[in-house]
Structure 1
Amino acid sequence: MTSVREVTPNLVRVVASGELEGWNDGGPGAHFKVFLPVAGEVVMRTYTVRDFDREAGLLTIDFGLHADGPVTAWARTAAVGDRFAVAGEARPGYVPSAGARWCLFFADHCALPAVASVLDALPADMRAIVFVEVTDPADETEFRSAAEVQATWLPESGPPCAALLAAARSVVLPEGPGEVWIGCEAGAMRGIRRHVLGELGLPREALHSRAYWKESVPNHSDHDTGSDDG
């Protein structure tokens, strides 16, 4: 690692270099496997490509400090010079379709690096409406984007992502063509997805959803898009 710094009280940014020539970063919001040495073992987890500077060969990863698990323990003590491995390529991220004029984001703290990465890449003629649920108000950050960004930060209240689900149920979609991006706990993601498809009537091809974790399930599958529930 070439640098480590605290972005917010619950988000640690690591910048790493190494054998990254030809590495496929997957685009904005892409995710990939990280292999970390923890207590003499190798722990594998899925993380977002926060940024990849191909010319400089620098990969940026934001590690959320969500619980007292092995990766959180590693991130709390990470230091320049520490080593870890990544998968050979990242899975594709998210880029709105050419006809979209707005994009609505529903995310919790785990999905915050992905949302920030996507916003970084949005064009100036795009409107982004962002709802993010956080457990600590100190984790609110400034988004960088050429697009017009309207961000609402929701303090966690009740079960995880309950405030996010309530926000989805009260939102009114903007006029014109647009898309919805959802990234949060698996059960809440499905609830938001059902509302967006059913009550708001958004076509399936304009909905992009992924579970970033599942309550009481360690290392939940990163293939869970909720499409099996409709």
Structure 2
Amino acid sequence: MSQERLFEAQVVSRLQLSPSIVRLVLSGAGLSDFATTNIPDEWIYLIFDRSGDDHGRKKRDRKSRPYTVRQWEPETCRLTLDVVCHDAGPATTWAQTTAIGDAISFTAPFGKYGPADNVDWILLMSDLTGLPAVARIIEQHRCQIPVLANVEIAEDGDRRLVAQTCGDCVAWHKTFDRHAGRSCLVDIMQNMSRPHGCGYVWIAGEATAVAQCRRLCQDNWGIEKNQVTAVGYWIAGQARG
């Protein structure tokens, strides 16, 4: 990310979906050549301290945080982000205080989700911070491969991120403590039975818990390394949001 292209847009809508999650819609002329990767877990890095030069070159102390692209509407140049506010930090402060018309800079999107075409099942494991990506993955899933998601949430209202028509494939766990920064993903996975056949597992959330779940997939379940995608969004004990 040393010389990446930065985009700039303005906040045109703000909606508090739950005590934990704020939906923000960005738009503006700066999005005219923004392009999606079409990978459903794609994210952009929001830039909260743009200390680069006029070409957007990164400085060592630049503050940036990754957030899932919840929806991109190229016809209207509108980019929707669901921002999870779970601890003190630049993203939480921005999401809680930003107003219509405020500007924000961000990078082009990146994505990792990629199950093989021949898998028998797909498993999504996520704490609250990965819920926006889980919601988009489920809503864009079009093939006949069954999908099951286990998601930690903090409030019952967090469930509304997933469309009701897709909710049957999600097991909700009201175990996420956004103030203590604790994740129970490992406990949830240890109490699961491995589905039959060849599978793909996508894991997102607290970095240590994600790494432990990845090892469980490979060592206990025998899932091939290239069929496990692990994304550490935050680190317990370190401000991220």
**TM-score, with structure 1 as normaliser:** 0.84
Structure 1 counterpart of 2:182, from 138, 151, 160: 160
The structure 2 residue matched to 1:203, chosen from 186, 205, 224, is 224
Q: Distance in 1 between matches of 2:220 and 2:25?
A: 42
Residues 123-152 of structure 1 deviation map (CA, whole Å, 9 limit, x = unaligned): 151311111112333322352398785211
Rounded to whole Å, the distance in 1 between the matches of 2:165 and 2:176 is 32
Which one-letter code corresponds to 2:75 in the other structure? E
Match of 2:201 in 1: 180
Paired residues in the alignment total 216
- Matching residue of 1:194: 215
How far apart are 1:183 and its partner, in Å?
0.3
Choose from 114, 121, 140 the match for 1:121. Answer: 140
Contact kept, 8 Å, 1:123 with 1:147, in 2: the verdict is no
Distance of aligned partners of 1:127 and 1:149 in 2 relative to their CA distance in 1, 3 Å threshold: farther
Looking at structure 2, the residues matched to 219 and 138 of structure 1 have their Cα atoms a distance apart, in angstroms, of 22
Shift of 1:54: 1.5
CA–CA distance in structure 2, aligned partners of residues 157 and 120 of structure 1: 23
Preserved CA contact (<8 Å) 1:107 1:132: yes
Shift of 1:116: 1.1
My pick for the range that moved more, 138-147 or 52-61, is: 138-147
Gaps of 5+ in 1: 221-230
Q: 1:146 to 1:176 in 2, by over 3 A?
A: farther
Contact 1:184 1:210 in 2 (8 A): yes
1:223 corresponds to: none
Whether the 8 Å CA contact 1:126–1:147 is kept in 2: the answer is no
Contact 1:31–1:93 at 8 Å: present in 2 too? no
Distance 1:165 1:112, change over 3 A: same
Q: What one-letter code is carried by the residue in structure 1 that aligns with 2:183?
A: C
Distance in 1, Cα, partners of 2:41 & 2:96: 23
Identity among equivalent pairs (%): 26
| Contact 1:34–1:85 (CA under 8 A) maintained in structure 2 | yes
Q: How much is the aligned-residue C-alpha RMSD, in angstroms?
A: 2.6
Partner of residue 17 from structure 2, selected from 1, 7, 28: 7
Offset of residue 14 of structure 1: 0.6
- Cα pair 2:91 2:240 within 8 Å, conserved: no
Q: CA deviation at 1:161?
A: 1.6
The corresponding residue for 1:84 is 104
**Is the contact between residue 127 and residue 153 of structure 2 (CA under 8 Å) also seen in structure 1?**
yes
Equivalent position to 1:17, from 27, 33, 38 = 27
Structure 2 gaps of 5+ residues are: 1-10, 51-60
Letter in 2 for 1:6: Q
User: Residue 106 of structure 1 aligns to which amino acid in structure 2?
Assistant: M
Residues of 2 paired with 1:93 and 1:49: CA distance? 13
Q: What residue is the counterpart of 2:41 in the other structure?
A: 29
CA contact (8 A) 1:3 1:14 kept: yes
Q: Does 1:62 align with 2:82?
A: yes
Q: Secondary structure at the match of 2:208?
A: helix
